Amino acid sequence: SAQQDAVFELVSMGFNVALWYTKYASRLAGKEDITEDEAKDVHRSLKIAAGIFKHLKESHIPKLITPVEKGRDLEARLIDSYIVQCQAEAQEVTIARAIELKHNPGLIAALAYETANFYQKADQTLSSLDPTYAGKWRKYLNLKSCFYMAYAYCYHGQTLLASDKCGEAIRSLQESEKFFAKAEALCKEYGETKGPGTTAKPSGHLFFRKLGNLVKNTLEKCQRENGFM
């Protein structure tokens, strides 16, 4: 897009700076062993990015001489989706740290469930857009939502198992398996979907691979405990 408008210049620069913060956070969060300081840096970067997106949407985009084109970067639906995705990605780091520090499974399940809902909300924000613009992005948001639902059910199952509710724990882990299988299938679909931007490879990430083994091992443990009873 090209416009003879100083506000458009300001908004374009602000948008690019916000995107830089999301990419910087993504690069840090993608490391295998993220330190506490790096986790804080990821949080800070995503908070700044969300703040810039919000400020542009509320203070500058409404002042543009030419209205924003539908489905383009500065449209309200896309900006809203970026803001929610920043929230979701900030929480992903909190979950990773909580797992690493062996926090209460109930807390991890609650965080994972909330994160899955953030991704779902970001996807719904884009649902009325032309798939040409948002199809690939929506696939990514969908797979992340399924992935964190699998985490939520897996850790909820561990909480139930600790309370000797083996039957309910098995049911929860079976749901986790379903969501993980769905996330794996969506990873494949996402990789094959054409669209702007580089294609991430979430299925190859250690955090993704760990979950598959965790679900399998926890379900087997629940079934063993249930067999003893």
Counting residues of the chain whose pLDDT is more than 90, the rounded percentage is 38
One domain, residues 119 and 183: yes
pLDDT tens column, 47-59: 999 999 999 999 9
The yes-or-no verdict on residue 176 having pLDDT over 80 is: yes
State how many domains the chain has: 2
Q: In this structure, are residues 130 and 78 in contact, taking their beta carbons and an 8 Å threshold?
A: no
Positive or negative, the Cα torsion across 144, 206, 16, 47? positive
User: Among the three residues 43, 78, 101, which one is the final residue of a domain in this structure?
Assistant: 101
The yes-or-no verdict on residue 187 having pLDDT over 70 is: yes
One domain, residues 120 and 59: no
- Report the pLDDT averaged over residues 181-208: 71
Q: Which of 103, 110, 188, 123 is nearest to 149 (CA)?
A: 110
More confident residue, 59 or 197: 59
pTM (2 d.p.): 0.85
pLDDT tens column, 104-160: 989 999 999 999 999 999 999 999 888 888 888 899 899 999 999 998 988 888 888
Which residue range(s) make up the domain with 165?
103-228
Q: Which of 169, 87, 77, 76 is nearest to 123 (CA)?
A: 77
Q: In this structure, are residues 95 and 133 in contact, taking their beta carbons and an 8 Å threshold?
A: no
CATH number of the domain that 17 lies in? Answer: 1.20.58
